């Protein structure tokens, strides 16, 4: 049952954030923040912003960064197709074939030529796998109280992933902000 004190500010849409509520126990999504890349009648698709990975670019894309002076950050994007790669970059980067997700974040085609502004060289984010929901599945999870829907902000892509969940919650003008620093295992107190 959805928490009556915390109401999502909007229905899911491209570019919004899905923030796991404390009652979501699935280890794939516990305290996760998902950037929704697509939402429609057929379902929803996104990537988890706060699951960093120690995978190197050379392991996944051999030779991709050679001569490019960039250091992409790797994340586990979700439990679906963990061999698939999703790449995001701030829209200030110059890249052929960018597809805007928000005004500040774009999907990029890693096969195109890259011209990244100096300030964005460390802001290229690569996600192994993605999070996906079939038709109606996300709506059921929202009604059950597993997720809150909030607007994204420009820094959500590049901020410290270890504090992403609490940072997104703490900026809300709703009772959700009270949960921002809720201990992970309160029953141990």
Domain boundaries along the sequence of the chain? 17-188
Cα separation, 94 vs 38, in Å, equals: 22
Mean pLDDT over the full length of the chain: 84
Q: How many CA atoms lie within 13 A of 90 on its CB side?
A: 19
Q: How confident is the model at residue 186, as a pLDDT?
A: 54
- Does pLDDT of 86 surpass 60? yes
Q: pLDDT grade, residue 97 (50/70/90)?
A: low
For the chain, how many residues are written? 189
Distance (Å, whole) CA 110 – CA 142:
33
Over residues 56-67, the mean pLDDT reads 79
- Kindly state the tokens that stand for 120: 């964005």
> So what's the pLDDT on residue 159?
87
pLDDT digits (tens, 9 = 90+) for 126-141: 999 999 999 999 999 9
Which pLDDT value is given to residue 115?
65
pLDDT for 10: 63
Burial bucket for residue 18 (CB in 10 Å: 0-12, 13-18, 19+):
buried
pLDDT at 96 over 70: no
Query: Could you say which DSSP state residue 3 is in?
Result: -
The confidence band for 119, taking pLDDT boundaries of 50, 70 and 90, is low
Q: What is the pLDDT of residues 166-179, one digit of tens each?
A: 999 999 988 888 88
CATH architecture for segment(s) 17-188: 3-Layer(aba) Sandwich (3.40)
* pLDDT score, position 52: 94
- Average pLDDT, stretch 53-60? 86
């Amino acid at each position: 049952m959805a928490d009556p004190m915390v109401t999502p500010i909007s229905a899911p849409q491209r570019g919004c954030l899905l923030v796991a509520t404390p009652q979501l126990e699935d280890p794939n999504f516990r305290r996760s923040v998902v950037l929704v890349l697509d939402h429609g009648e057929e379902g929803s698709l996104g990537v988890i912003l706060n699951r960093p990975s120690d995978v190197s670019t050379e392991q996944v894309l051999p030779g991709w960064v050679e001569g490019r002076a960039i250091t992409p950050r790797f994340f586990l994007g979700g439990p679906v197709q963990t061999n698939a790669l999703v790449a995001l970059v701030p829209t200030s980067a110059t890249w052929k074939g960018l597809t805007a997700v928000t005004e500040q974040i774009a999907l990029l085609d890693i096969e195109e030529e890259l011209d990244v502004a100096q300030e964005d060289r460390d802001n290229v984010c690569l996600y192994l796998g993605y999070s996906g929901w079939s038709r109606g599945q996300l709506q059921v999870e929202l009604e059950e109280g597993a997720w809150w829907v909030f607007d994204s902000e420009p820094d959500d892509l590049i901020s410290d992933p270890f504090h992403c969940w609490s940072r997104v919650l703490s900026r809300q003008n709703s009772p959700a902000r009270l949960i921002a620093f809720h201990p992970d295992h309160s029953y141990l107190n």
